[in-house]
Amino acid sequence: MFIVEALLSILLILVLIRISIGPTVWDRLAAYSSSTTKGIILLATISFLKQDTTFFNVEITLALLALASVAVITHFLEENNR
């Protein structure tokens, strides 16, 4: 399972690089959404390995905040493009 955590961490670092380099705002938004998904999967893997259920509340909260933030940013960007 250490290999899975290491691969997810490497992918998360690559997505964070994509956020900083992304040529358009939409690319950065997609990378942000992908990074939150990878972070949630990483937390789920850690909680599974430790057999600790307290991380599940954090994962659900992070997922809801990520969804809400992407929806708000998308709405803001659509308003500015009109």
3-61 pLDDT, tens per residue? Answer: 888 898 898 899 989 889 888 888 999 999 999 998 898 889 889 888 988 888 889 99
- Residue 71 is predicted with a pLDDT of 92
Contacts of 41 (CB under 8 A, 6+ apart): 8
| Number of domains making up the chain | 1
Long-range contacts, 54-63 (Cβ 8 Å, 24+): 62/36, 63/36
Domain span at residue 66 reads 2-81
Contacts of 77 (CB under 8 A, 6+ apart): 25, 26, 29
- Per the listing, tokens 């909260």 go with 61
pLDDT at 2 over 90: no
